[in-house]
Each structure stands twice: as structure tokens, then as C-alpha cells.
Structure 1
């Protein structure tokens, strides 16, 4: 067992495992965590590790509180082996997905199961102080609720994950010139949450967390190359290539909402540019065009909604379209074609096996999805669409929340970071773990 003594901020000298020892330890843990192996013999067969090494690593993980023994497994002729279980209840992850007009906050166990959650309307333009203060309040309430339900007042927070509706520099956890987030540019989101909860914090674009949620727990499980597209107030995409989330060199890959789809100067996007996809096909754009149709008398149904509520939303347009309103059908179809036109280029360029459509507008009916599909299949390269599936998200509103939790879980259990905290039994109290460099990208 190769170990070195390292000094970590806020801790006494801690034994850190290095080299082949930590690699084999992480391998054993990952096999049990993922369900790929449930017994010691299965671990040996799948990992190629010898029986003695497997026994040593399992014993250490049990001593650290990460694994526990369960029922007897199936016998292959001799004595039935004891099954192993990952202790998903050993700690919790605090997760939050912030949208343009809402927040979704939750407490998640170490296997990605949501234990408690809360959603409410919120305006991201209110600024980081007001929005994050509310996020922290809700997280604290949910954490107290979970501790009470599990009768464990000492249940520790192992990490915090948060998705934001704008570009994020992943290395620092700071928003970078987000078009719809006034006051957020450069705000130290990670530092603030790390101080409050004294635990590692990761921050990413919300669409990346949605893509990760689908990859780990949704309809993209087992896939290697996917494109997740969120159609909500704004539009964004998350890319998974070779089973790895692709963030780009600065973390802004997939920001398709502000890709140009028109040269018209009449429509100005919220980012200040003209011709952006979001300005023609996002939820705010649909609401704007629906309002015009109601005011100009081109839609009786939308005019009635406007008279009753004083406003028009994308959901109103969807309901009107489902009731046969011709103008609403045209608005949704037009938006779908704009989105499909850009996606056709991405499909030919990236060649994913699966395109997942999520977000509030995407869940409003089949018309928009049908227009997206028709345009993509018609305009993409035949080889790129031969086996391509375009489907609606199965996680729906939970994708970003679940993905934010898995972002933290994936980061914590890398061999490099696991080596820093496994002998302590928990990464709680070690916010500096976010700065540990990785040898290879996360899978």
C-alpha cells in the first residue's frame, strides 16, 4: 500500500493513496457504484485484479464507509458470495438548476436519487445576491427535511453542484458575460457556496448539467455521442462525445441560442445581436410573436387569453395550437423549422446517435418536435441521419437538477480526488478538492 502524507487546508496531515493502489481502489468502487459488479468474484473478473487485491480494496472501502455487505449472491458451484452495496446514504449532494425564470433545487444521495426538491418561479435578472440567497434558503430547508426524515442530524454535505443559464468558465465556477444575467459576470458563485457549506462546489452551464443528467440517469444511458437541446425561454445545447461531456476550452461549447439564423435587422436578441436563433424560436420569442398576433387580431384564442390574463406565454401558444388555432400552429412550426435548420448542420458536423429535446417549450406539444424532426431529417446528410433518433427528454424538469448532482459525484470519485479524501471517509470540509488536477478527462 503506497501512501504519502499531504497537508490540506483546514485539516491535519492526511494519508493520501497514490499510484496503482488508488487506481485499483477507484476501479473497485466504480464497479460496485455502477452496479457492474456486485460480488468480489465479479469484481475480479471485470477488473482483472487478483483475488487478494480485490479483498484488500473491498475491505478498505468498507472501513472507509463507502461499501457495505448485503445479501448472499448467486452461487457458481461453491459457497454463495456476499453481495456488496455502495453506501449511497453516506452523504448528500446539494444541487440546483437556475433557469431564466425559475429555480429547481434539491438534495440528492450519492447514487443520484433525488431525496427532496423544490421548484419556484424566479427571475435570474434579479442578480446573484438575491437569487443565490434564495437558493441557499431552500437548500437549507431541504437539507433539514432530509436529515429529519433519515433521523440523521449529522448527515454531511459531500458537495454542491449548480447549473446557470449562461456561459460559465468551468475552471473557476464564474459566469462569463452571460447575455441574460445582468450583474452575474465574473460573480464568484463557487467561492460563495464553498464558504457557506465548506465543501467542494462545481458550477456549469445548465444545459450541460441537463445533458449529463440524461447521460447518467435518463434516455441517453449507454450512449456515447448525444446532443441535448433545451428549448425554454432561451435555447442551448449540451454535447456528449465519446461518453464525455464536451465543454470546450473555456466552457461555452453548445451555446447555439446565439448562433445566427437570419440577417434580418428587425428582431434584436436579448444579447444585443441580431439574427440569433433564440430571438426567433425561444420561449420569449414565441410569447412576443403570440402577443403581436393577439393584439393584431390574427388569433381569436390568443386574444381571449390576453384579455383574461394580460399576457401571452409559450404555453398559451401551445394550448391554442392544440385547440386548432391556425396562427399558433404556424408559430410553433416556424420555431421548429428554425431550430431544426441549425440542428441539421450540427447533426452533419457532429454525427450524434441521439438528439434529446428538453426544456419547457419542448414539452408543450408535438407540433414543434415534429417540425424539428422533419427539418433535421430533410436537411442533414443521409449517413448522419440513417440511425439518428430525435426524442423528447425523459427526465423533463429534473434533468438539470440530476445532472448537477452527477457532475459533483463524477468529480469527487475520480482517482485523483478520491486519493485526497478516501482515508477520511468523506470529502466534506475540503472545498479545495476542486483544484486537484486530473490526469484524464471525465468519462
Structure 2
């Protein structure tokens, strides 16, 4: 049995088992909620735990409302065992993905299933007060809707997960000098939501949440080493190594959009530097190049778009390319090759089994993806690409929303945190759980 530590709350001090007890408790819960084991004998076989320990842990998890008894399972010759089910709707998670030009807000159950969601246009440059107030309004509306639909007026919020379009110091939940987010530097996003909903809150870069979404519920499920690349207004990457999301020491691992891709200094990136990949191949750069082509008469298709709408977007360039517009084809092919050149270096360095391409610009037909693939396979080490797959995101624009929910779920069910709140039956009311140190990082 592990040590017992004191856990201080505003009202009282409780003692909570840690160490072996916490590990076995978390293991039993994870086996049931993942569907790996459904009965006590199956739990014992998978976890290597004795019958008495399994019974104790299941009893504790059942008494606090995390597990419930189900139907009789198949018999292996003796008495048929009772199946166990994870109570995924014992609480809900509030999840939000904030992009450069939109917000996606949702409510999920404790298994990451989206129960309600809403997407709308929003300018991240409007500042944290304006944007986060709107996120809170949508959170409240969706939460009311879910409580009504489930006929559960007392359904509590167990956690909040938020993805932001810029570097985030994960330990504090604060943006750090985000290039496209004026007024957000150092803003206490985590603290704000924790005060509002009185629950644990985790905040991360949106590309990390997208990678996590694909890992837990998308095309990367079951993979151990993946690279998720978002090509949208900006460009970023999320790295999963050994089945664990890799954030780096400060939380900015994978910020490839501001890696140098050119020695030229004629194009200034939004971060203030020149030669950044994002400044040449991101959605904003593609739109700007398309606008120039329209004004200069190099693309009749884009000139017609400009005349009718007054602007040109990356989506317009994509539509023009799919219609056979030569200039637009060249713009997307060039962007794909620039991205592929940088990814080739990462593939040789990191050796992932899967590269997932997501983000708004990734939907630009097969042209961009083909250019990325061709460049990566041509420029990477042969051994690194022998079994490498490069595929488009299956979750598409839901990856960040789902991933932000799983970020909170997995943090809540980490052994060290689970042991702190399990006897209360819910982590609601304990926002300080985010400060509990973990022996190893969770997904």
C-alpha cells in the first residue's frame, strides 16, 4: 500500500491513498471505460491484480458512481460474471477550440462523446475579454440544452478543456507571446474559467488538442508515434511519441509555422520575423498570393471572385485550382512543397508512423496533399518513409473540440488526481486539482 497524503480544500482536510492504491484504482477504471475489460475476472487478467484487490477497487468505483453493474456476461464454465459499465454521463466536460477566425464550443460526456456543439465566426484579435465572454455564453447555453435533453438539471461540470491558436504555457494555462493574438499574452485563461465554473481547467495550443483528438477518437487511434500538422490561417504541428502527447519543457513543441523556410527577407511574418513557413504557405499567405494574382490579371477565375466579393480567400484559390486554374494550381503546389520540405526533416528526425494533415487549408482537394506527400517521400530518409502513411484528418474541424475534451478527461483520471477526488464522487468544486503533480505525463 502506498503512502497517504493530506489533500486540503477550502472546507476540510482529507487523507487520500496514493501510490499502489491510486495506480490500481486508475487501472481498473481505465480498463472498464476503454472497453478493454467488462467483468471482474477480465480486469484481474488484464491488470494482473488479485480477486480481492479487484473487488475492493470496483466496490469503491461503484460506490462513488463511476461504475455501475450491467447485464450478466458470458460464463467460462462457472457462475456468469456481472458486466461493469463506465457511467460516462455522470458529469460533463466543457470543451472549446479557438481559431484565428472562429470558435467551436461543445459539451461532451466523460467518454469524449460530443453531446452538443456550436461553431461561429470570431476574430481572435478582438481580445480575451470579448472572445472568452462569448465562449462562456455558448458554454452556458449548450449546458442548459444538455441538461434539458438528458433530464438531468443537476448534471455537473467535471472539467474544462480549451485550445488556443498560439503558444501556451501548459503549467499555467496562459498564452505566451502569441503572434496572432494581440492582448492575450499572459492572460489567465485557465483561472478565468476555473472561477466561472468552479472546476479543473486545462488550456493548450489548439494543434496539440487536435493531435490528441485524432489519437483518441480519429485516424491515429492505436498509433504510438504520430505527427499532426494543421494547415489553416497558420501552420502548426502536434507530436505524439510513445502514445503520449509531447509538449516540450514550456509547452511550445511543434510550432513549425515559424520555422525558417526561406533566406529571403521580403515577406514579414505576423510573428515579426522573416522567412517563416507560415508566411509563405499558410492560409493567409495563399489568400494574399491569390489576391495578387487576381489584381495582376494572372488568374481570370480569381479576378472574377475579386470583382464579385471584393476579396480572395484560400478557399477561393482551392476552388480555382479544382476548376483547372493554372495559377491557383501553382500556388497550392508551391505551398505543399514548402510544407513537405520542412516535414521531410521532421519525418527523418522523429520517424513517425503516421502524419495527419488537418486544418482548413487541408481541405483544398488532393492537390496540396499530393505535393506534401511527394516532397516528404522524396526528401526523407528511405527507412523513415518505408511504412509511413500521410493522410488527411478524419475528424476534420472537430479534432480540436474532441481533443480538448480528452485533454481534461485524461488529466482528471490520472492516478494522482483520481485518488484525490474519487471518494467525493466528482472533481467538480476542486479547481485546484490542476496543481496536483503527476509522476508521469498523461495524454
- Look up the match of 2:347: 347
Write the mapping of 1:47-86 to structure 2, written as runs, cut at 5 A: 47-86=47-86
Alpha carbons 2:227, 2:239 under 8 Å: kept: yes
Matched residue SS, 2:89: helix
Q: Report runs of 4+ in structure 1 exceeding 6 Å deviation.
A: none
Alpha carbons 2:7, 2:420 under 8 Å: kept: no
Alpha carbons 2:291, 2:306 under 8 Å: kept: yes
- Look up the match of 2:323: 323
Matched residue SS, 1:238: strand
- Post-superposition CA distance 1:325-377 (Å, at most 9, x none): 11111000000000000000000000000000000000121100000000000
Matched residue SS, 1:88: coil
Separation in structure 2 between the aligned mates of residue 401 and residue 12 of structure 1, nearest angstrom = 35
Separation in structure 1 between the aligned mates of residue 220 and residue 86 of structure 2, nearest angstrom = 23
Residue 286 (structure 1) shift: 0.5
Residue 15 (structure 1) shift: 4.0
- Look up the match of 2:178: 178
Alpha carbons 1:362, 1:369 under 8 Å: kept: yes
Matched residue SS, 2:141: helix
- Look up the match of 1:90: 90
- Post-superposition CA distance 1:180-230 (Å, at most 9, x none): 100000000001010000000000000000000000111101111000000
Cα distance, 1:435–1:250 mapped onto 2, change above 3 Å: same
- Post-superposition CA distance 1:262-313 (Å, at most 9, x none): 0112111111111000001000000000000000000001011111111111
Please report the RMSD computed on the Cα atoms of aligned residues, expressed in angstroms: 1.1
- Look up the match of 1:216: 216
- Look up the match of 1:116: 116
Residue 51 (structure 1) shift: 0.8
- Post-superposition CA distance 1:15-41 (Å, at most 9, x none): 412232221111101110111101111
Residue 2 (structure 1) shift: 7.1
- Look up the match of 1:335: 335
Alpha carbons 1:169, 1:250 under 8 Å: kept: yes
Write the mapping of 1:24-423 to structure 2, written as runs, cut at 5 A: 24-423=24-423
- Look up the match of 1:436: 436
Could you list the runs of 5+ residues in structure 2 that have no partner in the other structure?
Answer: none
Residue 174 (structure 1) shift: 0.4
Alpha carbons 2:5, 2:18 under 8 Å: kept: no
Matched residue SS, 2:343: helix
Separation in structure 1 between the aligned mates of residue 266 and residue 178 of structure 2, nearest angstrom = 23
Separation in structure 2 between the aligned mates of residue 110 and residue 241 of structure 1, nearest angstrom = 24
Could you list the runs of 5+ residues in structure 1 that have no partner in the other structure?
Answer: none
Separation in structure 2 between the aligned mates of residue 119 and residue 53 of structure 1, nearest angstrom = 46
Separation in structure 1 between the aligned mates of residue 23 and residue 375 of structure 2, nearest angstrom = 46
Alpha carbons 1:3, 1:15 under 8 Å: kept: no
Matched residue SS, 1:304: helix
Matched residue SS, 1:182: coil
Alpha carbons 2:180, 2:270 under 8 Å: kept: yes
Residue 7 (structure 1) shift: 4.5
Matched residue SS, 2:360: coil
Residue 73 (structure 1) shift: 1.3
Matched residue SS, 2:8: coil
Separation in structure 1 between the aligned mates of residue 62 and residue 7 of structure 2, nearest angstrom = 25
Separation in structure 2 between the aligned mates of residue 341 and residue 5 of structure 1, nearest angstrom = 51
Alpha carbons 1:5, 1:13 under 8 Å: kept: no
Separation in structure 2 between the aligned mates of residue 209 and residue 336 of structure 1, nearest angstrom = 23
Matched residue SS, 1:361: helix
- Size of the aligned set, in residue pairs, is 443
